[in-house]
């Protein structure tokens, strides 16, 4: 399959989400996003206005995370947070589901929340990406159920992970897997044709991105944007 750097860049949501990021880091990373002309930046709620200004005149959209990273805010707070982000200039919203409710099988709650936030985003002319957090939601049946719910609710994207779904390991340390090929394939298979798939967490190389694309992802969160696209330029030419 032929690839171009431009096509691959427009798969990437450049993530600027680490808790330690300062305003100067936001400026630096927005400059990276502008230079490589990626699809969007994904920023924390307080940074939306600044990101909009930093990317003014570019073709890079501003996205914002909601209920990030663990999805534990009440539905009303998530709706308010989404609405405020849209008012501040975000045109893409990445929301985290209520993970505990999903694991407990309270699908009515989960669907109602996703639908309310989706409706709020669409009313404000923004697209919505629903994050499953597959490091925590590990049962296949639960992931399939979430695909079906998001399809009914009209979500624009379903997304694997936050990149912050840290699980305690046997040695006491914390780590995460993030996006996997089987999860992307499952999400593509069980969601409707109008729902796109975004992978996130652990996509650090060009080969990672190409494998996710082949599995059905059309967007990818990334912090290693420069390394990925520089390698694409070397491999495929400008």
How does pLDDT run across 74-124, given as a tens digit for each residue? 999 999 999 999 999 999 999 999 999 999 999 999 999 999 999 999 999
pTM of the model: 0.96
Q: How many domains does the chain have?
A: 1
* Euclidean distance between CA atoms 16 and 18, whole angstroms: 6
Any idea what the CATH number is for the domain that residue 107 is in?
3.20.20.70
Residue from 129, 143, 145, 198 carrying the catalytic annotation: 198
Is 198 annotated in the active site?
Answer: yes
Considering the candidates 78, 101, 159, 213, report the single residue annotated as catalytic. 159
On the question of pLDDT at 1 being above 90, the answer is no
- Would you call 207 a catalytic residue per the annotation? no
65 pLDDT exceeds 70?
Answer: yes
203 contacts 229 by C-beta, under 8 angstroms: no
pLDDT in tens, 175-204: 999 999 999 999 999 999 999 999 999 999
* 159 labelled catalytic: yes
Catalytic residue among 13, 78, 94, 143: 94
Lowest mean per-residue pLDDT among 39-43, 81-85, 87-91, 169-173: 169-173
Q: Given this model, what pLDDT does residue 237 score?
A: 79
- For residue 34, the enclosing domain spans 5-236
Given a cut of 60, is residue 30 above it in pLDDT?
A: yes
**pLDDT value for 238:** 66
> Does residue 52 register a pLDDT over 80?
yes
């Amino acid at each position: 399959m032929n690839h171009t750097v431009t096509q691959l860049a427009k798969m990437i949501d450049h993530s600027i989400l680490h808790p330690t990021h300062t305003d100067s880091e936001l400026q630096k990373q927005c400059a990276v996003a502008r230079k490589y002309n990626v699809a969007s930046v994904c920023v924390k709620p307080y940074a939306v206005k600044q990101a909009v200004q930093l990317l003014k005149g570019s073709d890079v959209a501003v996205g914002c995370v909601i209920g990030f990273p663990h999805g534990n805010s009440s539905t009303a707070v998530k709706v308010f947070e989404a609405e405020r982000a849209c008012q501040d200039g975000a045109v893409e919203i990445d929301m985290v589901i209520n993970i505990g409710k999903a694991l407990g099988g309270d699908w009515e709650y989960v669907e109602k929340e996703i639908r309310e936030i989706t409706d709020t985003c669409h009313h404000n002319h923004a697209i919505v990406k629903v994050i499953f957090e597959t490091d925590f939601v590990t049962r296949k049946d639960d992931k399939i159920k979430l695909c079906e719910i998001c399809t009914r609710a009209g979500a624009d994207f379903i997304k694997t992970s936050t990149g912050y779904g840290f699980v305690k390991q046997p040695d006491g340390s914390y780590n995460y897997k993030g996006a996997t090929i089987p999860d992307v394939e499952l999400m593509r298979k069980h969601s409707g044709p109008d729902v796109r798939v975004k992978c996130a967490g652990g996509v650090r190389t060009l080969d990672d991105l190409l494998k996710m694309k082949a599995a059905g992802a059309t967007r990818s969160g990334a912090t290693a944007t420069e390394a990925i696209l520089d390698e694409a330029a070397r491999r495929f030419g400008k």
